[in-house]
């Protein structure tokens, strides 16, 4: 379902000059049915109490879900835009790196539903997010 030819290098190049680059999200892996990216827990992504900010987790999740849907529908002349996102923050994180993995739950003509698991270096679940993408005709 993820088209052949989608590369980590291409996704990282595409993400320059926006929030993705600012919070240091870096795509690390592309598979047939998933995309992975990592984000450091740093001064850019922490809240005042020193923990990973829930909003930063949502930025990682939305980035992954949007990009995953986008690489599927763009070759079809379509556009994927976020319709709804939810995030359950399971565990705090003070430093290190988190990795998000987006996998499809539903790929339809007008909507996509993606699940994004954000984990720490030991594979412990930090955040579980779901994003619904609206698939539109490109104007």
- State the Cα–Cα distance between residues 42 and 2, nearest whole angstrom: 30
- State the Cα–Cα distance between residues 91 and 95, nearest whole angstrom: 13
> Which of the following is catalytic: 62, 84, 119, 121?
62
- State the Cα–Cα distance between residues 92 and 14, nearest whole angstrom: 30
Q: Which residues of 46-110 form beta strands (DSSP E)?
A: 78-89, 97-107
Q: What are phi and psi of 18, to 5 degrees?
A: -140, -170
Query: Is residue 62 among the annotated active site residues?
Result: yes
Would residue 52 be called left, alpha or beta, if left means φ above 0 and alpha means ψ between -120 and 50 degrees?
A: beta
DSSP state for residue 46 in the 8-state scheme: B
Contacts of 14 (CB under 8 A, 6+ apart): 67
Annotated catalytic sites, by residue? 62
């Amino acid at each position: 379902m993820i088209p052949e030819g989608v590369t980590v290098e291409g996704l990282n190049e595409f993400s320059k000059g926006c929030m993705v680059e600012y919070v240091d999200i870096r795509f690390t892996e592309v598979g047939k049915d998933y995309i992975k990216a990592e984000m450091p827990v740093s001064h850019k992504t922490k809240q005042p109490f020193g923990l990973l900010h829930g909003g930063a987790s949502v930025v990682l999740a939305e980035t992954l879900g949007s990009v995953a849907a986008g690489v599927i529908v763009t070759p079809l002349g379509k556009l994927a835009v976020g319709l709804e996102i939810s995030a359950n923050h399971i565990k705090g994180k003070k430093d290190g790196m988190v990795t998000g993995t987006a996998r499809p739950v539903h790929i339809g003509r007008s909507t996509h539903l993606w699940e994004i698991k954000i984990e720490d270096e030991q594979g412990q679940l930090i955040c579980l997010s779901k994003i619904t993408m609206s698939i539109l005709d490109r104007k």
